Structure 1
Amino acid sequence: MNQNIEKILTKFLMNAANIDELEILANWLKKDEHKQIFKSYIKTNYAMDINTNEFDTENAKKEYLRKIRLSKKTTYKFKIYKVLKYAAAAVIIFGMGYFFQQKGNTGSIEITEPIIVNNQIETGTDKATLTLENGDRIALVKGDTYQTQNVTSNGEKVIYNSSNTSRELVYNHLTIPRGGQFQLTLSDGTKVWLNSESQLKYPVAFNEGETREVELVYGEAYFDVSPSSEHEGAKFKVFNNSQEVEVLGTEFNIKAYKDETNIYTTLVEGKVEVTAGNTVKILSQSQQTNLNIVTKNVSVQEVSVRSQISWKEGLYMFKDKSLKEIMTTLSRWYDMEVVFADENLEGIPFNGALYKDQSIIDILNDIKNFGVIKNYEINNKTITLK
Structure 2
Amino acid sequence: MISDKTENIIVKFLTNQATASELEALESWVEDAKNKELFKEYIKINYAVEYNMKEFDSQKLRMMLLDAFAGEKKEKKRNKVRKIISYSAAAAVVLGMLTTTYLYTTDFFDKPVEVPVVVNNTISVGTNKAVLTLEDGSDVTLEKNKIYKKNNVVSNGEELVYNNDGKTKSGLVYNYLTIPRGGQFQIKLADGTEVWLNSETKLKFPVAFAEGTPREVELIYGEAFFDVSPSTEHKGAKFKVLNKNQEVEVLGTEFNIKAYKDEDKIYTTLVEGKVSISNLTSKKYLSPNQQAIINHTNTDIMINTIDAYNEVLWTKGIFSFKGKTLKEIMTVMSRWYDVDVVFKNVKLEKEKFNGVLSKNDEIREILSIIKKTNFINDYEIKDRKITIK
What amino acid is the match of 1:285? P
Aligned pair 1:197/2:200, yes or no? yes
1:326 aligns with 2:329: yes
Q: Pairwise mapping of residues 282-361 of structure 1 onto structure 2 (< 5 A)?
A: 282-361=285-364
Aligned partner of 1:162: which letter?
N
What is the rounded CA distance, in whole Å, between the counterparts of 2:125 and 2:217 in structure 1? 29
Deviations 1:278-320 (A, max 9, x none): 1111111111100001122210010110111100010011111
CA distance in 2, matches of 1:134, 1:267: 35
How much does 1:90 deviate?
A: 9.0
What is the SS of the residue equivalent to 2:31? Answer: helix
Superposition map of 1:126-145 within 5 A: 126-145=128-147
Residue 92 of structure 2 corresponds to 95
Q: 1:42 to 1:259 in 2, by over 3 A?
A: farther
1:225 maps to what in 2?
228
Task: Tell me if the contact between 1:110 and 1:371 (Cα under 8 Å) persists in the aligned partners.
Answer: no
The Cα offsets for residues 87-118 of structure 1, whole Å up to 9 and x where unpaired, read as x999754333314799xxx9995632111000
CA gap 1:166/1:21 in 2 versus in 1, 3 angstroms: closer
Residues 212-249 of structure 1 deviation map (CA, whole Å, 9 limit, x = unaligned): 00000000000000011110111110001111001111
Question: Which segments of 5 or more consecutive residues in structure 2 lack a partner in the other structure?
Answer: 14-24, 38-42, 52-64, 74-84
Tell me the alpha carbon deviations over residues 115-161 of structure 1, each in whole angstroms, 9 at most, x when there is no partner: 10001211100000000000110000000000011200000000001
Give the secondary-structure state (helix, strand or coil) at the position aligned to 2:350.
coil
Q: Does 1:368 align with 2:365?
A: no
RMSD, aligned α-carbons: 3.4
CA distance 1:41–1:111, change in 2 (3 Å): farther
Match of 2:80 in 1: none
Among 18, 31, 44, which residue is 1:22 paired with? 31
Paired residue type of 2:114: T
| Displacement of 1:344 | 1.4
Identify, as 1 or 2, the structure richer in helix. Answer: 2
Give aligned-pair identity as a percent. 47
Q: Which runs of 5+ in 1 are unaligned?
A: 29-38, 48-56, 66-87
Letter in 2 for 1:265: T
Residue type matched to 1:139 in 2?
Answer: T
- Stretch deviating more after TM superposition (129-138 or 112-121): 112-121
Q: How many Å separate the matches in 2 of 1:280 and 1:159?
A: 33
In structure 1, the partner of 2:77 is none
The superposition leaves residues 305-349 of structure 1 with CA deviations (integer Å, 9 ceiling, x where unpaired) of 011110001001111111111111111001111111111111111
d(CA) in 2 for partners of 1:135 and 1:26?
Answer: 60
- Find the residue that maps to 1:346 and give its secondary structure: helix
Q: Which has the higher contact order (CA 8 A, sep 6+)?
A: 1
Distance 2:349 2:110 in 1: 18
TM-score normalised to structure 2 length: 0.77
C-alpha contact (below 8 Å) 2:92/2:356 kept by paired residues: no
- Match for residue 154 of structure 2? 152
How many residues align? The count is: 332
For 1:91 and 1:194, how far apart are their aligned partners in 2? 21
| Candidates 262, 276, 281, aligned match of 1:278 | 281
Cα distance in 2 for residues equivalent to 1:10 and 1:381 = 46
**TM-score, length-scaled by structure 1:** 0.78
* C-alpha distance 129-45 of structure 1, shift in aligned 2 (>3 A): farther
- Map residues 198-217 of structure 1 onto 2, 5 A cutoff: 198-217=201-220
Kindly indicate whether residue 174 of structure 2 is the aligned counterpart of residue 185 of structure 1.
no
